[in-house]
């Protein structure tokens, strides 16, 4: 199995330096979304105090120093002749790689004119979430991903062939059924250390494919926690020398794709009689299928079309559907919700590489802001 060269470096040598006593200063790893809308970038700086919250960070720095900048021409975000972009700290987590007191700092990206970069979807999402704060929108997102070797083949798959057909791998146990559990366990523990609201993980239907769940998170926190959990995943995989792919259909043929199923509820949905509010929201979603397909992957549906075929536990990208306990529907109402007449629903359309800010904003716009409907779009 092909792994990266850097993972083969002697980690004991690195630990010698990482175990050195750290002075009063703190290392901050600034993290941001690049111009692809999928990739993450990072760089570090030193702070002379120990911030516990994002507000502490802003108070520790002068406001102009809390912000930072970077070369946007090297991240698909600007031209070289006007390349400086601004990083604005928005959320902070403990750093599981450098450990306390060091921090991961998730940032907004602004252009030279202080307007949000094209892939800074957090900006509008936060405004929308503020509009519905009293309705307490809760989200949980199920992030599927595939472990790949440096050769692009799924981790653990035969070099010149394929593993046995799908069936024994989902939630599997055993060396012949599960590939890469060490990576999954490391990521899980790192997220817990960081303060990410990770609530579970499992092996998925295709071998080398895994899922972790984040939530429940209210409002803008959903996007913050999912993006930083993705950063931690990529960083953990870097240490192991493999790649975490969020491609919605990493392997063609009779293999499951990868989604990011999104669970959604409001205060009214969670209370007695909440099912009627769920049904009202599903009716609104049925009228805006085109809009949701457009925002549920970074390429406006062109990635998801490879996954949403109506097979392999997906709905068709062309049709909207809903049902109780139906994993082949656009919207699934969990069986306990149908029985208890309250709870949440699951939107199964978002692709693994979706932007969680876009997905959660779209759900709020359609279900709570009651925007006008649209007819479904045809994808071929």
Q: What is the pLDDT of residues 155-203, one digit of tens each?
A: 999 988 999 999 999 999 999 999 999 999 999 999 999 999 999 999 9
Q: Where are the domains of the chain?
A: 23-119, 128-367
SS3 369: coil
| Residue from 295, 291, 316 nearest 305 by CA | 316
d(CA 136, CA 308): 30
SS3 45: strand
Percent with pLDDT over 90 in the chain: 84
Checking DSSP bridges between strand 138-148 and strand 198-203, what pairing results, if any?
unpaired
d(CA 375, CA 380): 16
d(CA 71, CA 367): 39
d(CA 332, CA 153): 32
Task: Tell me the pTM.
Answer: 0.95
CA angle, corner 359, sides to 341 and 94, nearest 5? 100
Please give the pLDDT value at position 163.
Answer: 95
Residue 378 clears pLDDT 50, i.e. is over it: no
Averaged pLDDT for residues 266-291: 97
The CATH code for residues 128-367 is: 3.30.590.10
pLDDT level of residue 251 (50, 70, 90 thresholds) = very high
What's the CATH number of domain 23-119, 3.10.20.70, 3.30.465.10, 3.40.50.1220, 3.30.420.10? 3.10.20.70
Please give the pLDDT value at position 64.
Answer: 56
| Residue from 147, 143, 142, 140 nearest 206 by CA | 147
Q: What is the pLDDT of residues 50-107, one digit of tens each?
A: 888 888 887 777 655 689 999 999 999 988 788 899 999 999 999 999 999 999 999 9
d(CA 170, CA 210): 9
d(CA 274, CA 333): 12
Please give the pLDDT value at position 1.
Answer: 59
């Amino acid at each position: 199995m092909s792994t990266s060269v850097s993972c083969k470096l002697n980690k004991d040598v690195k630990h010698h330096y990482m175990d050195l006593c750290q002075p009063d200063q703190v290392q901050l790893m600034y993290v941001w979304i690049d111009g692809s809308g999928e990739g993450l970038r990072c760089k570090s700086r030193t702070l002379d105090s120990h911030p516990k919250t994002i507000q502490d960070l802003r108070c520790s720095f002068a406001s102009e120093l809390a912000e930072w900048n970077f070369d946007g021409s090297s991240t698909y975000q600007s031209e070289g002749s006007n390349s400086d972009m601004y990083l604005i700290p928005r959320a902070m987590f403990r750093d599981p790689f450098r450990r306390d007191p060091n921090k991961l700092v998730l940032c907004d990206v602004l252009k030279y004119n202080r307007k949000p970069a094209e892939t800074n979807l957090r900006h509008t999402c936060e405004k929308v979430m503020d509009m519905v704060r009293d309705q307490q929108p809760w989200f949980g997102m199920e992030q599927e991903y595939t472990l790949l070797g440096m050769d692009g083949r799924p981790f653990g798959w035969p070099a010149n062939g394929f593993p046995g057909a799908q069936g024994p791998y989902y939630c599997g146990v055993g060396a012949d059924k599960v590939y890469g559990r060490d990576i999954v366990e490391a990521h899980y523990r790192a997220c817990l250390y960081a303060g990410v609201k990770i609530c579970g993980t499992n092996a998925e239907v295709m071998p080398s494919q895994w899922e972790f769940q984040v939530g429940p998170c209210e409002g803008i926190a959903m996007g913050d926690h999912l993006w930083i959990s993705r950063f931690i995943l990529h960083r953990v995989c870097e240490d192991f020398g493999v790649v975490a792919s969020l491609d919605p259909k990493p392997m063609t043929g009779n293999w499951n794709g990868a989604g990011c199923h999104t669970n959604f509820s409001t205060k009214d949905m969670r209370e007695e009689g909440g099912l009627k509010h769920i049904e009202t929201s599903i009716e609104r979603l049925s009228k805006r299928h085109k809009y949701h397909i457009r925002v549920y992957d970074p390429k406006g549906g062109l990635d998801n079309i490879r996954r949403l075929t109506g097979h392999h536990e997906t709905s068709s990208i062309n049709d909207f559907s809903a049902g109780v306990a139906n994993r082949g529907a656009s919207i699934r109402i969990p069986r306990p919700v149908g029985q208890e007449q309250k709870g949440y629903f699951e939107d199964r359309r978002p692709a693994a590489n979706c932007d969680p800010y876009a997905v959660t904003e779209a759900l709020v716009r359609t279900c709570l802001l009651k925007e006008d409907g649209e007819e479904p779009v045809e994808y071929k």
